[in-house]
Structure 1
């Protein structure tokens, strides 16, 4: 029997480094899949929980967050270039609406129950970062979920009610207790933590050691993160 690796990934839908980190981890999993079995699960995190239900102007929010138009342009170029290196075509300059991700996280939780979580996470990331989709629009998100095989009625109910809110709040609280303040954040085999969008090579080195239960030192939090405390993203 192949060694098993369970990887919980704490992330937010509007976190660019979470999407980049997703690709980097996937490349490592692809290279290691013949020798290990993997169980990947996404856990919720909100970088901006105070965002109104109707969303905010993305550029205005980020310019205010980063302190200047110049800094905004610099970070946008940087993250777009890094994403391109992972095969992602970010179009952040076309994204006009930054959503409150609470409902989207409840949808991701529902997708987990339906065995469709990884597909749902990928669909939402692509919609937001590459296709500049307005994720505040209920019917738009319903169509995205339908595209991966989820029932439209169930998805609409989740997005228009508080279904799954208690479970979401519990998960968000547990993440805070663990001290997670920036994402992506990886918890491997319920024991080892890796912070930030670490390069594929780090995962290729660390995951086999963890699978063998070697006394590895958790990598330093030097990978790129979106950080709720400092505002850096």
Structure 2
């Protein structure tokens, strides 16, 4: 029987390095699928909790956050190029709205009830970064959730309620209390931490060493709360 490695992923669905990190992690898990079984669970982190429910103009908001349009173009160009190397298509030009992601995180928690939340995370990433979908609109969240295999009526009713808000807030506070201030962040077997969108090789090395010694890695690219990266 293969050893099981549990991976807790702290991320936000509008964090480009979280999507890039997801692909790198998946490549590492595929590479080691003959040695280990993997269990992945996503946890909430809101990079921009102050954004109103209706969202903000994406380019204006991020340009102001990054320190100007030139810096905005530099950062988005960099992550788009990096994403392409991982087989991902980022289209910042089609993203008109920077959303508040509270409802997206609530849906991810709901999807855990049917063991479907990893598929939903992927669908939300693709909708935002590739398709330019406005995640501030509930009807778009419903459509994305349905495409990921969730029940449409259940999702519609859920989004009309306040269910899950307290749980999201509690989870975020707990993660902040253990020192997580940027994403992606990976918690391995509830014991070891890996910060940033590490190359797949770094994940492979960590997983292979995890049973014998504490693992430390230099921080990879990440989105942080001070707003200078993404």
| TM-score for both structures, normalised by structure 2 | 0.97
Counting matched residue pairs gives 230
Matching residue of 2:226 = 229
Do the aligned partners of 1:100 and 1:136 also contact (CA within 8 Å) in 2?
yes
Residue range with higher mean Cα deviation, 156-165 or 102-111? 156-165
Matching residue of 1:139 = 139
Matching residue of 1:155 = 155
Give, in angstroms, the shift of residue 160 of structure 1.
2.1
Matching residue of 1:190 = 190
Alpha-carbon displacement from aligned partner over 1:31-73 (angstroms, at most 9, x marks no partner): 1111101000000000000100000111001100111111111
| Mapping of residues 1-233 of structure 1, within 5 Å | 1-210=1-210, 212=211, 214-221=212-219, 223-233=220-230
Do the aligned partners of 1:5 and 1:188 also contact (CA within 8 Å) in 2?
yes
CA distance in structure 2 between the aligned counterparts of 1:23 and 1:182, rounded to whole angstroms: 18
Alpha-carbon displacement from aligned partner over 1:180-217 (angstroms, at most 9, x marks no partner): 1100000000000000000001011111111x2x2233
CA distance in structure 1 between the aligned counterparts of 2:107 and 2:58, rounded to whole angstroms: 22
Give, in angstroms, the shift of residue 108 of structure 1.
0.2
Residue range with higher mean Cα deviation, 147-156 or 103-112? 147-156
Q: State the secondary structure of the residue aligned to 1:35.
A: coil
Do the aligned partners of 1:157 and 1:163 also contact (CA within 8 Å) in 2?
no
Where does the alignment leave 5 or more consecutive residues of structure 2 unmatched?
Answer: none
Do the aligned partners of 1:24 and 1:199 also contact (CA within 8 Å) in 2?
yes
Q: State the secondary structure of the residue aligned to 1:186.
A: strand
CA distance in structure 1 between the aligned counterparts of 2:142 and 2:152, rounded to whole angstroms: 6
| TM-score for both structures, normalised by structure 1 | 0.96
Query: Deviating runs (4+, > 3 A) in structure 1?
Result: none
CA distance in structure 2 between the aligned counterparts of 1:191 and 1:41, rounded to whole angstroms: 15
